[in-house]
Amino acid sequence: MQKALNIDPAKCTGCIQCELACSMEHTGSFNPSKSLIKVFKFHDQGRFVPYTCTQCAEAWCMQACPVDAISMDAINNGAKIVADSVCVGCKVCTIACPFGTINYVPDTGKVAKCDLCGGDPKCATACPTDAITFVDASSTGLEKMRNWAAKTDSGASAQA
C-alpha cells in the first residue's frame, strides 16, 4: 500500500513541532531553518499551513537531475530520494520543482527534500493536532485535486 502525508491546515496551530522533529531527524539539531517541512504563516488571518514535498508522480525534480541523483524508493514508500553521494549541487532540481520544496543546503553543497523518513515521517509523529498524518495515498484526495486542476486548466484554455 502506497502511503502519503496528508496535511489538514485547519488543524494546524503553528506550533512547528513538525519542523523541529524533521530537523532533528535529518540534521541532529532542533533547528527549524534546517527542516524539510515548513509551516507557512498567514499572520493576518491567524492561519498556518504546513507544506513539504508531495512526492508527485511526475517528479520534475527527478526528471531534471542531470546526474540521476534523485530516485524513487519503490520498496519502502515511493518517496523521491536524493543520493548525497551522487548529487553535485547544481540546483537544476530546485528550478524544476513547481512547489519549491527541494532546497539547496549551503552547509553540504547538495540539495535536500522530504524523504518521508524511510516510511516513518517524524513530522506526522510529532504533530499534536493530527494536522499532518501519514495515510493510504488513495485517501488523500491528491488524484481528485489533480483531475480538478486538469479540468480547470483545459477549461481556461478553451475560453482563451
| Tens digits of residue pLDDT in 36-74 | 999 999 989 989 999 999 898 889 999 999 999 999 988
Which residues lie below 8 Å from residue 77, measured CB to CB, with a gap of 6+? Answer: 2, 3, 116, 118, 119
φ, ψ of residue 95 to 5 degrees: the values are -75, -35
β-strand partners of 3 = 136
pTM of the model: 0.82
Identify whether the C-beta of residue 132 lies closer than 8 Å to the C-beta of residue 51. Answer: no
Q: % helix / strand / coil in the chain, to the nearest 5?
A: 35, 20, 45
Give the CATH number of domain 1-52+115-135; options: 3.40.190.10, 3.30.70.20, 3.40.50.2300, 3.40.605.10: 3.30.70.20
pLDDT value of position 75: 78
Q: Rounded CA gap, 100 and 36, in Å? A: 11
Local structure of residue 8 (DSSP, 8 states): -
- Confidence band (pLDDT; 50, 70, 90) for 160? very low
| Tens digits of residue pLDDT in 109-131 | 999 999 999 999 999 999 999 99
pLDDT value of position 111: 97
Structural domain boundaries of the chain? 1-52+115-135, 56-113
Percentage above 70 pLDDT, the chain? 86
Give me the residue label for grid cell 543520493.
83
Same fold, 1-52+115-135 and 56-113: yes
Does domain 56-113 fall into CATH 3.30.70.20? yes
